[in-house]
Amino acid sequence: MSDITDAAKRLLLGRPVSSEFVNQAVLPKRIALPVFSSDALSSVAYAPDEILLTLALAGTSALIWSPWIGAVVLLVLLTVVASYRQNVYAYPNGGGDYEVTTENLGKKAGLSVASALLVDYVLTVAVSISSASQYAASAISALRGHETILAIGIIIVLTVINLRGVREAGRAFAIPVYLFMAAIGTLAMAGFFQYLSGTLGTAHSADFTLVPQEAFDQGLTGLGGALLIARAFASGSAALTGVEAISNGVPSFKKPKSKNAATTLLLLGLISTFMFATILLLAQATGVKFVEDPATQLTLNGAPVDQGYIQHPVIAQLAEVVFSGTPWLVFIVSAVTGIILMFAANTAFNGFPILGSILARDGYLPRQMHNRGDRLAFSNGIMTLAAGAVVLVWIFDAQVTRLIQLYIVGVFVSFTLSQLGMVKHWTGKLRKATDPIQRRRMRRSRVVNAAGFVMTGVVLVVVLITKFTHGAWITLLVMAVLYIVMGGIRKHYDSVAEELDLGEDIAGARALPSRVHAIVLLSQIHKPAMRAVSYARATRPSTLEALTVAVDAEDTVRLRKRWEALEIPVPLRVLNSPYREITRPVLSYVRSIRRQSPRDLVVVYIPEYVVGHWWEQLLHNQSAARLKSRLLFTPGVVVSSVPWQLSSAENQGVETTYFEQSGQPRAIEDRRRR
Amino acid sequence: MSDITDAAKRLLLGRPVSSEFVNQAVLPKRIALPVFSSDALSSVAYAPDEILLTLALAGTSALIWSPWIGAVVLLVLLTVVASYRQNVYAYPNGGGDYEVTTENLGKKAGLSVASALLVDYVLTVAVSISSASQYAASAISALRGHETILAIGIIIVLTVINLRGVREAGRAFAIPVYLFMAAIGTLAMAGFFQYLSGTLGTAHSADFTLVPQEAFDQGLTGLGGALLIARAFASGSAALTGVEAISNGVPSFKKPKSKNAATTLLLLGLISTFMFATILLLAQATGVKFVEDPATQLTLNGAPVDQGYIQHPVIAQLAEVVFSGTPWLVFIVSAVTGIILMFAANTAFNGFPILGSILARDGYLPRQMHNRGDRLAFSNGIMTLAAGAVVLVWIFDAQVTRLIQLYIVGVFVSFTLSQLGMVKHWTGKLRKATDPIQRRRMRRSRVVNAAGFVMTGVVLVVVLITKFTHGAWITLLVMAVLYIVMGGIRKHYDSVAEELDLGEDIAGARALPSRVHAIVLLSQIHKPAMRAVSYARATRPSTLEALTVAVDAEDTVRLRKRWEALEIPVPLRVLNSPYREITRPVLSYVRSIRRQSPRDLVVVYIPEYVVGHWWEQLLHNQSAARLKSRLLFTPGVVVSSVPWQLSSAENQGVETTYFEQSGQPRAIEDRRRR
């Protein structure tokens, strides 16, 4: 890496951060709540909209169902909260769904959950940021029509921030999350007050009539109606995403960690419930309409709605009604909602790389996913997540409604398997426990987790049935591909580890080659070549020879004469190359030496220029690079690069202090000098 | 490269060809003529069209000028032929314009010619193939509207053929060139016979009236008229491209080489003249109209021409008139013309890589342009040429008329400079020569070349004046960029060569480092690591230590214990890495050793996996690769890769015999074993 790249990286990403900071942050509940809840809370920005939007397909009368669907969603939400409270107690060191499932249900189930979670993190970013850009466009009219590019821009900004590493996470997270709670709380209170006092207005969209789809001419009847209600419920279940975040973060809580985490989780559940219910009820009271395509689905006095009609998200519509006298409050609500959605996406930017790192540690992903980048951030994971989200946003034009069809599948796969794992966990514990009080507590936990398993399992089935053709198949396909790829990577690492294992053959490992046959490759006689010869001679091999390939007859004659004139005590060997190739003759010569004396070691010294700029690299070393990569395939050969630093390469040094743990360089074999 | 890639390359490109074949082919005149003339002859497929097209801008009456313009073009052509006949005698070993100019006018002039020629080769391909695809579309109606993609497809096919290397060049070239001569000859004879007998019909386009551009309402008058005639002449000069080909190819002729080449050149000039004149005269006799945009420039009985009117190239239109009774003959003429155009493009595929190789030899282009690929072909040059031509065809929609504006500039730059060089050449010879007969011959040659210089110089000025704004500026710009880039590359190689030159310091070149400090990098203890340790020990360095970086505390403790258990007589040093980096601590440790004893040599052994598939490479060696590239920047360090071939890499071997010129491996230092 050149100096400039390095400097640019520093400027963009900040100074590197030392390991000691990694596990330092311990959060009190008042900070932990906002840190871990932005994902879960932010889903009220789009989940109610999706319920209304789905029901709208069956006409105005169908909207009556929305509070009931909401109630079922909340029932599932509270069940899941209760379930994960058990996880928090059972795994005080942080029981992510992947670990819980792997430990209790085995590697395959764990890998399924991992695939589901990876896909879901990407979707969290795509959905949250798409929704955020819709709120931004609803608040700032200049952004309308540019939602996709705006969303991609936000993802890029988040990526850079996360590559820098978020150190001030706690405090910076707390403020906007509490602002969001305050905004929705104020909206709720003002709204209910107006409702009770009879002063609550109606939404702008309340005057519209919904045009039902052909299938729903008769309203919500028959199997079609039931399926639509189920689909609305499935979409509304997006409200549950992010609930599991706290169970991953138990180690970050103040002691008693599990208790504090469980309390925070309960709090999160209650706040989420309150917000979700408020929005659905106010939406019904004010007659809010929300549809996928206003131009065809809305009519005003029998005529299609005006082309210029801009449909705002539900929260924005509610704010317009409730705060109709104070436009800046309306703006604040949209702005705060947009910001909380970005923080929700940011949760994925934390979660995805950590999961990736754990999977890399377990051998399911390439090792480099396990390396932390400079700023304590898992750079590779962050880049992968961002790339995935950008692709999704691009393909689906940043349309939340289309993206939400892909979402949720993954969440509920991991919910369901994790809860099943917990049931098994308690069963296993019960087998060993004898203390009746403990046993009673375990039994109760098992019942809670079993309820969670059944509930989330049913939702999963509903989601699969109602959304498969709408886009869930894409998620399942990607999950399957990830599952297969990760399994393949693990298999590869396993077979390599087995192949490389020392085993019992310690003597074999200690055996030394008997002789060293050194070869210096020459193409010209210049300083780099002479340095390579000197260095090779300094290592005092058993045999040493210089080797050149005769590509051009005249050049070779000149080289041979020059060599003889220098009177260096090393023989020069010339290989003919009828095909003007360099690599093949050298390779086959090296192999012939190995065949003659297989127990010897062949060391090939290659003089190499080191240049300072990439374009200079294009002008040099092309043959050397090819030759090196081929020689590596030959057993019993060491490829030694003897670099010659050209003046342009001189400013490329890096200086950092290193920290030594032990030992001093010790001369183990220094007979020659004596 | 993997086996599969290798096999695919073989399948596509054929078996490698030995050096011995390079200079084998010696051609009799009857084969040499077609081999070297396709470029020059094929230009009659578009040069007359461009004259008619340019004149058409001034209305129907202006077409009367076409034979006269043609006559001037032919005058220039014959002068150039005469000039190059002198080159052929003066440089019997092949005097390309680049060599002639460099030798007589110096490096800068030579580099200018080289830039011009490189650009022109690309344009030869673009123009010829665009024209070929127009002929194809005129013969096969299904191809109409797909000319661009067809042209790009043809270029790709030519590229593959040339990467294979054209061995059967002679015979394969001869047939279509003679067919083309026969086709045009038949067309001419039949046409003149019909003309004389009064049975020659009129072209379909003869009924059209040409709509003159506003500026030419009054016909060809004033400065504007003169400039248009000059422009028509400049476009018609495209007929001269390719005449120089024979002067490059003198060594390929049978003895007496120069004489045979000169005769062939004269023959080429005469045939070219005959064809060119025939086409222009027949076009006038049959009233052929050819315009850039039929929809706006042609009217029939006062009304704009039908939208569906397809304008065929002039040769095709002539064939339709002359062979009106026998459509298959019409088809044959178009087909043969298309094929000859492809052969013309192929000439560039031969010339460009050879010129590139010569320029690379002279240090103006990257060294790898000088390497021949497997099949005697300069693969890099071929790929560069094809890429340039594809880009041009794409940008200009395969429209010959637009491309022709860029063409010719380069040709005449090199014509002019080369002829000036020849004048200087003869002047220099005259200074030494004493034999009066020889002197007379030289004087005559000098006069011929001087005439050529004046003539081509005037044409160059005309071309620049009439075509600069129409596109010639692009050519000049690219030429300037090439000139600067090639000059820069040469400067770089020169400064590197100076930096690397041994000079007088032979003693310094022979000095040996005093001690060898060996370091083996360990990340785990497995077979590859133990092999690296064994190999390092086998080289018996002055000091030897194993080095590991503590990225993970637990892993390091485990590694240290395992190391001690193995009881290997090599100390293990652990470097702390608070930033979890591997590269920096190792680098700074190595530097600290160099600082302590600058005269010592540090050899760093890096165990490396060798895998068989590119995707496996992604899973391994990432840290090793980064570390290696950084260590190369540290002076006094040798980086030794100790490869461990994983089983997947086992089938990657190549076996070819090598040919040894001299010497047997000799043990120069084998004291240790005794």
8-state DSSP, B472: I
Nearest Cα residue in chain A from B17:
A579
pLDDT (tens digit per residue) in B632-669: 888 888 999 888 888 776 655 443 333 344 333 333 33
Residue A671: how many CB atoms within 10 A of its CB? 8
Nearest Cα residue in chain A from B360:
A619
- Asked if the Cβ–Cβ distance from B500 to A644 is below 8 Å, we say yes
Same domain, yes or no, for B519 and B487? Answer: no
Q: Which of A232, A285, A219 is nearest to A60 (CA)?
A: A219
Same domain, yes or no, for B534 and B476? Answer: no
Cα–Cα–Cα angle for B212, B215, B216, nearest 5°?
Answer: 45
Rounded to the nearest angstrom, the minimum Cα separation between A71 and chain B is 48
The whole-number pLDDT of residue B509 equals 67
Q: Which of B463, B494, B525 is the last residue of a domain?
A: B494
- Asked if the Cβ–Cβ distance from A535 to B526 is below 8 Å, we say no
- Asked if the Cβ–Cβ distance from A619 to B493 is below 8 Å, we say yes
Cβ atoms of A620 and A541 within 8 Å: the answer is: no
Same domain, yes or no, for A278 and A402? Answer: yes
Q: Which of A433, A461, A494 is the last residue of a domain?
A: A494
Nearest Cα residue in chain B from A19:
B578
Within a domain: B467? yes
Nearest Cα residue in chain A from B612:
A633
- Nearest-10 crossing angle of helices B327-361, B97-105: 40
**What are the C-alpha distances in Å from A579 to residues A575, A583, B193, B372?**
12, 10, 56, 9
Taking the C-alpha atoms of residue A400 and residue A54, their distance in angstroms, rounded to an integer, is 13
List chain A residues with CB under 8 Å of B500: 526-528, 644
Token output for B400: 């010959």
Nearest Cα residue in chain A from B485:
A615
Cβ atoms of A349 and A473 within 8 Å: the answer is: no
Taking the C-alpha atoms of residue B461 and residue B444, their distance in angstroms, rounded to an integer, is 26
- Asked if the Cβ–Cβ distance from A499 to B578 is below 8 Å, we say no
Interacting residues of A562 by C-beta distance below 8 A, sequence separation 6+? A525
Same domain, yes or no, for A293 and A353? Answer: yes
We report the CATH number of the domain holding residue A381 as 1.20.1740.10
Taking the C-alpha atoms of residue B405 and residue B115, their distance in angstroms, rounded to an integer, is 18
User: Is the sign of the CA dihedral A33, A34, A36, A37 positive or negative?
Assistant: positive
Backbone φ and ψ for B378, nearest 5 degrees, come out as -85, 85
**In chain A, which residues have pLDDT < 50?**
1-4, 14-23, 373-377, 653-674
The whole-number pLDDT of residue A273 equals 93
Within a domain: A673? no
pLDDT (tens digit per residue) in B263-296: 999 999 999 999 999 999 999 999 999 988 888 8
Cβ atoms of B59 and B211 within 8 Å: the answer is: yes
Closest CB to B610 among A588, A632, A654: A632
The whole-number pLDDT of residue B669 equals 30
- Asked if the Cβ–Cβ distance from B633 to A652 is below 8 Å, we say yes
- Asked if the Cβ–Cβ distance from A588 to B19 is below 8 Å, we say no
Taking the C-alpha atoms of residue A511 and residue A103, their distance in angstroms, rounded to an integer, is 42
| Residue A4 exposed, middle or buried by CB count within 10 Å (0-12, 13-18, 19+) | exposed
Count CB pairs under 8 A between chains A and B: 339
Same domain, yes or no, for B533 and B397? Answer: no
Rounded to the nearest angstrom, the minimum Cα separation between B557 and chain A is 11
Token output for A99: 């670990």
Q: What is the ipTM of this complex?
A: 0.71
Closest CB to B574 among A652, A662, A667: A662
The whole-number pLDDT of residue B667 equals 31
Token output for A625: 């690079």
- Asked if the Cβ–Cβ distance from A572 to B663 is below 8 Å, we say yes
List chain A residues with CB under 8 Å of B585: 656, 658-659
- Asked if the Cβ–Cβ distance from B502 to A660 is below 8 Å, we say no
Nearest Cα residue in chain B from A613:
B492
Within a domain: A632? yes
Structure pTM?
0.69
Within a domain: B188? yes
- Asked if the Cβ–Cβ distance from B528 to A500 is below 8 Å, we say yes
Taking the C-alpha atoms of residue B52 and residue B289, their distance in angstroms, rounded to an integer, is 7
**In chain B, which residues have pLDDT < 50?**
1-4, 14-23, 373-377, 653-674
Within a domain: A665? no
Total domains, chain A: 2
Same domain, yes or no, for A519 and A489? Answer: no
**What are the C-alpha distances in Å from A233 to residues A39, A149, A405, B640?**
19, 31, 12, 63
Token output for A118: 């990876």
A581 is in which domain, residue-wise?
Answer: 514-653
We report the CATH number of the domain holding residue B644 as 3.40.50.620
Taking the C-alpha atoms of residue B33 and residue B29, their distance in angstroms, rounded to an integer, is 6
Q: Which of B592, B601, B588 is nearest to B627 (CA)?
A: B588
List chain A residues with CB under 8 Å of B515: 670, 673
- Asked if the Cβ–Cβ distance from B576 to A668 is below 8 Å, we say no
- Asked if the Cβ–Cβ distance from A660 to B575 is below 8 Å, we say yes
Cβ atoms of A220 and A69 within 8 Å: the answer is: no
List chain A residues with CB under 8 Å of B516: 538-539
Token output for B412: 């005449």
Total length of chain A: 674
Rounded to the nearest angstrom, the minimum Cα separation between B629 and chain A is 9
List chain B residues with CB under 8 Å of A645: 632-633, 635
Taking the C-alpha atoms of residue A511 and residue B538, their distance in angstroms, rounded to an integer, is 9
Cβ atoms of A574 and B662 within 8 Å: the answer is: yes
Same domain, yes or no, for B605 and B537? Answer: yes
Same domain, yes or no, for B212 and B281? Answer: yes
- Asked if the Cβ–Cβ distance from A516 to B534 is below 8 Å, we say no
Same domain, yes or no, for A460 and A528? Answer: no
Token pair 């313009």 is at which residue?
Answer: B69
Same domain, yes or no, for B528 and B434? Answer: no
The whole-number pLDDT of residue B372 equals 54
Closest CB to A640 among B511, B622, B639: B639
B218-255 residues labelled b (16+ CB within 10 A) or e (exposed): eebeeeebeebbbbbbbbbbbbbbbbbbbbbbbebbee
Nearest Cα residue in chain B from A544:
B668
List chain B residues with CB under 8 Å of A497: 526
Rounded to the nearest angstrom, the minimum Cα separation between A270 and chain B is 41
List chain B residues with CB under 8 Å of A9: none
Nearest Cα residue in chain A from B560:
A662
Backbone φ and ψ for B546, nearest 5 degrees, come out as -95, 145
Q: Which of B554, B640, B664, B670 to mutate to test the interface with A (most CBs of A within 10 A)?
A: B640
Closest CB to B574 among A501, A569, A661: A661
Same domain, yes or no, for B22 and B73? Answer: yes
The whole-number pLDDT of residue B673 equals 33
Q: Which of B494, B526, B549 is the last residue of a domain?
A: B494
Nearest Cα residue in chain A from B624:
A368
Taking the C-alpha atoms of residue A162 and residue A169, their distance in angstroms, rounded to an integer, is 11
Q: Which of A271, A39, A32 is nearest to A169 (CA)?
A: A32
List chain B residues with CB under 8 Å of A539: 516, 539, 541, 601, 603
Nearest Cα residue in chain A from B528:
A500
Within a domain: A555? yes
Torsion of CA A651, A657, A659, A660, to 10 degrees: 60
Reduced to 3 states (helix: H, G, I; strand: E, B; else coil), residue B519 is: strand
Assign 3-class secondary structure to A65-97.
Answer: HHHHHHHHHHHHHHHHHHHHHHHHHHCCCCCCH
Q: Which of B374, B659, B673 to mutate to test the interface with A (most CBs of A within 10 A)?
A: B659
8-state DSSP, A612: S
Within a domain: A663? no
Cβ atoms of B58 and B213 within 8 Å: the answer is: yes
Beta strands in B303-452 (DSSP E): 303-304
Rounded to the nearest angstrom, the minimum Cα separation between B642 and chain A is 5
Within a domain: A403? yes
List chain B residues with CB under 8 Å of A571: 663, 666, 668
Rounded to the nearest angstrom, the minimum Cα separation between A310 and chain B is 41
List chain B residues with CB under 8 Å of A589: 658, 660
Same domain, yes or no, for A475 and A532? Answer: no
